[in-house]
C-alpha cells in the first residue's frame, strides 16, 4: 500500500481544532519562523457563514502569510491556509485543495476527520497532523489515518487545552507521537522547518 502513496513536493502540517483551539493558534502563529519547506492548513469548526472573520484574524496575528482557499487553490510551501466555513476540505494529487459540500461529519463541515484522512492519502510520511482543543470526537480517526500512512501525529496536552475532550479522545484511541503544550508545539513546528 505504501507504494501507492503520492509524495508531494510540498510537506504539510495540518491542524485541526474546535472549541478553544483559536486560543492555542493565537499563541503559536505569531511566533512561527518563516516556512521554507512546508505549508500549514488549519481546519477548525466554525459557524456556517460566508464571512472571512477567522481568516482576517489569523492573517493579522500570523507571522506567516495567509492565503485564502477557493476550489482548486494550489498548495504552496511558505503559506498558511484556513478551511472555509461550510465546506469539507480535500487534498488532490497535484497539490490542489478541493471544496466539498457533502453531508456534515461529526456535526461539522469542515470536518477534521475528512481533511486529515484526505491529506493522509496524498502526503503520507511527509505529513504532520496536530489536534487541538475541542468538545467532540472529530479528528481522532483522521489522526489514525495519518499515522497509518506513515505521518506523525501530535495531540495538544489536555491539561493545556481549553476544552480537553477532543485531545483526551485522541489519546484514548490513538498512540500519538507527541502530546505537547502550545509552547512545545511551537518549538516542534519551528524545528521541522530547519
Q: Exactly one of 8, 21, 45, 95 is catalytic; which is it?
A: 45
Q: Exactly one of 113, 115, 133, 138 is catalytic; which is it?
A: 138
**Closest among 98, 28, 97, 20 to 64, alpha carbons compared:** 28
Q: Exactly one of 18, 85, 108, 133 is catalytic; which is it?
A: 18
How many whole angstroms separate alpha carbon 110 and alpha carbon 46? 8
Asked if 170 contacts 113 with a C-beta cutoff of 8 angstroms, the reply is no
Asked if 58 contacts 67 with a C-beta cutoff of 8 angstroms, the reply is no
Based on the residue annotation, tell me whether 18 is a catalytic residue of this protein.
Answer: yes
How many whole angstroms separate alpha carbon 13 and alpha carbon 25? 13
3-class DSSP state of 190: helix
Give the Cβ contact number of residue 103 at 10 Å: 8
Based on the residue annotation, tell me whether 100 is a catalytic residue of this protein.
Answer: no
Based on the residue annotation, tell me whether 21 is a catalytic residue of this protein.
Answer: no
Which residues are the active-site residues? Answer: 18, 45, 138
Amino acid at each position: 500500500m505504501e507504494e501507492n502513496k503520492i509524495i508531494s513536493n510540498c510537506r504539510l502540517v495540518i491542524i485541526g481544532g474546535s472549541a478553544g483551539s483559536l486560543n492555542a493558534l493565537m499563541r503559536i502563529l505569531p511566533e512561527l519562523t518563516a516556512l521554507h519547506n512546508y505549508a500549514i492548513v488549519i481546519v477548525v469548526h466554525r459557524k456556517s457563514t460566508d464571512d472571512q472573520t477567522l481568516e482576517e484574524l489569523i492573517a493579522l496575528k500570523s507571522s506567516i502569510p495567509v492565503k485564502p482557499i477557493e476550489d482548486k487553490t494550489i498548495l504552496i510551501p511558505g503559506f498558511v491556509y484556513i478551511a472555509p466555513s461550510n465546506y469539507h476540505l480535500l487534498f488532490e494529487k497535484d497539490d490542489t485543495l478541493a471544496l466539498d459540500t457533502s453531508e456534515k461529519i461529526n456535526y461539522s463541515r469542515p470536518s477534521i476527520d475528512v481533511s486529515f484522512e484526505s491529506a493522509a492519502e496524498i502526503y503520507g510520511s511527509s505529513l504532520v497532523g496536530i489536534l487541538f482543543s475541542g468538545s467532540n470526537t472529530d479528528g481522532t480517526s483522521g489522526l489514525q489515518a495519518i499515522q497509518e500512512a506513515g505521518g506523525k501525529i501530535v495531540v495538544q496536552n489536555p491539561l493545556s487545552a481549553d476544552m480537553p475532550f477532543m485531545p483526551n479522545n485522541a489519546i484514548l484511541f490513538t498512540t500519538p507521537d507527541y502530546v505537547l503544550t502550545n509552547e512545545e508545539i511551537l518549538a516542534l513546528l519551528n524545528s521541522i522547518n530547519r
